[in-house]
Amino acid sequence: MRLLIVGTLKGQLTTATKIAIDNGASVTHAADNEQAMRVLRGGKGADLLLVDVAIDIRDLVMRLEAEHIHVPIVACGIASDARAAVAAIHAGAKEYIPLPPDPELIAAVLAAVANDSRELVYRDDAMAKVVKLAQQIAGSEASVMITGESGTGKEVLARYVHSRSNRAKKPFISINCAAIPEHLLESELFGHEKGAFTGAVARRIGKFEEASGGTLLLDEISEMDVRLQSKLLRAIQERVIDRVGGKGPVPVDIRILATSNRNLAEAVRAGTFREDLLFRLNVVNLKIPPLRERPADILELAQHFAKKYADANGVPLRPLSAEARRVLTTNRWPGNVRELENTIHRAVLMAQGDEIGPEAIITPEGDRLDQTKTPPAVAHATFAAEQVTRSLVGRTVADVERDLILETLKHCLGNRTHAANILGISIRTLRNKLNEYADGGLPIPPAGGGEPRAFVQTA
């Protein structure tokens, strides 16, 4: 856990620093926004910014956004300054901590940001085999490929491997290759020099250098453009990187972990993933089975999440009734652990009485899970597909593809992620298609529903 405190070090912030260090955080200080940006660009990085409300938080948020630096901000100030607290939240701070600092509150915020609650919870033999292999190879320097469906817990397992490696006390840096626009991903990985491109206002250290001495997780690596894969391969093989606009190679000392929810062997055959890169990354493969194939984990995880969200929401811990347990164990869980966690969170909030009953096990739309046959989004997509297939003859493949994509997106109420999952394509591919259609003047369903509008992609 890396904490950057921005503001004066006198008085209560000194106390907050000591509390953070006592809770295992490594702490760096910056006097103002300019110094904070230099720290973040310089490779030390941060998992959380604790910022004095006397600092211009809105300016700091704008600076971070302009340089595509993503790190949560927690504001702090004297307890009686309610106006400053509200202003800080409006400016972009995630939370507000009153001073003088409460040790338990500081510890809770650090734990929430560090996501210490993402424990590796399992009981099923299928998952136990994966964990045993992870334990065997954790102490090595081998690259590891972690595969499995979306929501199975690939990043949690990656952190587990790092925590049991010889690099455990060094940084664990994660970058989602699917979430960063293609033209920015190279700079995020390898860094850039000042003036290397428009918006490069200063030198920025990339994730490879930031992770030096520790572990770098390349999340959803299958979404990386094949042209960037060649530069990644060189970095992994030679342990040197080239900053964008740089004049020479920079050595790095990292261990590489990667995740994918796609079949990379098929991606190699399709020409979208380099075979030599796959060989380099796939020294050890940790394949996490879907939740439906490890039934003993369902109730173990459900009980874990029930306690977690009862504590988080200040409600009584209720056991799962026998009928609720039956509903959970017979469901297919297409969203795996992530879907189960959200379902139990809802159940904790909705439950009444002494137990969590089946009436509290509901979908996001409020339907009981044991009475829902087909998820609404899937039903809508099926209907859309049927409508399209009625008039296939005489039309081009491109026209049919366009209509299927737009109809699926429409019936998913503009939700890009759901539409991409149903269509079996990556979110990046979907966005590229929507940009292409928008350039052709077609109306694109907006995110969150509403009337179609021209689609505008933001960085």
Assess contact for 307 and 317: CB atoms under 8 A.
Answer: yes
In this structure, the answer to whether residues 192 and 263 fall within a common structural domain is yes
Integer-rounded Cα Rg, in Å, for the chain is 24
| β-pairing verdict for 250-251 and 240-241 | antiparallel
Average pLDDT over residues 356-381: 76
The answer to whether residue 321 scores a pLDDT higher than 60 is: yes
- What are 453's strand-pairing partners? 444
CATH no. for residue 22?
3.40.50.2300
Q: Which two tokens stand for residue 360?
A: 């509290």
**389 lies in some domain:** yes
**120 lies in some domain:** no
Q: Which residue has the tokens 């000591």?
A: 18
Task: Give SS3 for 314.
Answer: coil
In this structure, the answer to whether residues 149 and 32 fall within a common structural domain is no
Helix (H) or strand (E) segment spanning residue 85: helix 82-91
| β-pairing verdict for 73-78 and 144-147 | unpaired
pLDDT band at residue 450 under the 50/70/90 scheme:
very low
Q: Which two tokens stand for residue 149?
A: 């469906």
In this structure, the answer to whether residues 75 and 162 fall within a common structural domain is no
For residue 91, give its domain range. 2-114
In this structure, the answer to whether residues 398 and 331 fall within a common structural domain is no
For residues 144 and 38, the model is more confident at 144
In this structure, the answer to whether residues 266 and 303 fall within a common structural domain is no
pTM of the model: 0.68
Q: Which two tokens stand for residue 96?
A: 């507000």
Q: Which two tokens stand for residue 414?
A: 């503009």
pLDDT band at residue 345 under the 50/70/90 scheme:
very high
Q: What is the pLDDT of residue 394?
A: 62
In this structure, the answer to whether residues 346 and 381 fall within a common structural domain is no
Q: Which two tokens stand for residue 390?
A: 């009625």
pLDDT band at residue 199 under the 50/70/90 scheme:
confident
The total number of structural domains in the chain stands at: 4
pLDDT band at residue 72 under the 50/70/90 scheme:
confident
Q: Which two tokens stand for residue 411?
A: 């019936």
Q: What is the pLDDT of residue 203?
A: 83
Backbone φ, ψ for residue 140 (5° rounding): -85, 180
**456 lies in some domain:** no
Q: Which residue has the tokens 């065997």?
A: 136
In this structure, the answer to whether residues 181 and 221 fall within a common structural domain is yes
Q: What is the pLDDT of residue 216?
A: 96
Q: What is the pLDDT of residue 452?
A: 46
What is the share, in percent, of the chain residues with pLDDT greater than 70?
Answer: 88
